[in-house]
């Protein structure tokens, strides 16, 4: 990229610099970005499970309790197994009640 090219195409040059910065940031944050879509489903499954089966709050209340700005695409509460599955942003996570002292835990 010569100086004259930059002078002739200032907008494209700026966009290229921004793109490079964006790619560098994506690389730098690759671990966090890969994990990011998991937060919604994992948070919802774990905290709903504890709300419902540890704190013994009503199901309807617990749904409101875990509600976020982004909504879930799927949600399933299986009372017999005390297992909760929540999906959002293309990822799905489950949490299950383990015992009276242990409460709930997110599945691996």
Partner 1 sequence: MFNGSTLLLTVLLLVTLPVRAEHWPGEQWSQGPAASGPALDALEAYAFVPRDDTTRAGIRTDALLVIRDGQLIYERYAGPTTADTPHLTWSVTKSLLAVMLGVAYGQGRFQLQDKVATFYPPLQQHPQISMADLLHWASGLDWQEDYEYAPLNSSVVAMLYTRGHQDMAAFTAGHAAFSAPGQAFRYSSGDSNLLSAALKNMLGTPAYADYPWSALFDPLGIRQAVWETDAAGTFVGSSYAYLRARDLARIGLLMQRDGRWGERQLLPKAWVDFCRTPFSGYQANQDEAVPGAHWWLNRAVQGAAQPWPDAPADTFAALGHWGQALYIVPSEKLVIVRYADDRDGSYRHNELLKRALLAFGRQGRP
Applying CB under 8 A, does 103 fall inside the site for partner 1? Answer: yes
Binding residue count for partner 1, defined by CB under 8 A = 29
One-character DSSP codes across 30-80: HHHHHHTTHHHHHHHHHHHHIIIIIS---HHHHHHHT--SSPPSEEEEETT
Contact pattern for partner 1 over residues 25 through 64, marking x by CB under 8 A: ----x-xxx-xx-xx--xx--x---xx--xxxxx--x--x
Q: Which is nearer to partner 1, 6 or 106 (CB)?
A: 106
φ/ψ (deg, to 5) at 81: -90, -5
- The CA distance from 13 to 50, in Å, is 52
Binding mask 68-97 for partner 1 (x = CB under 8 A): ------------------------------
């Amino acid at each position: 990229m010569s100086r004259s090219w930059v002078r002739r195409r200032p907008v494209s040059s700026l966009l290229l610099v921004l793109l490079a910065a964006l790619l560098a940031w994506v690389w730098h944050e690759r671990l966090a970005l890969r994990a990011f879509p998991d937060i919604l489903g994992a948070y919802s499954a774990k905290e709903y499970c504890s709300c419902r089966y540890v704190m013994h709050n009503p199901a309807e209340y617990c749904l409101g309790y875990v509600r976020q700005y982004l909504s879930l695409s799927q949600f399933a509460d299986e009372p017999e197994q005390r297992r909760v599955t929540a999906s959002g942003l293309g990822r799905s996570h489950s949490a299950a009640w383990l015992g009276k002292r242990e409460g709930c835990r997110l599945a691996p």
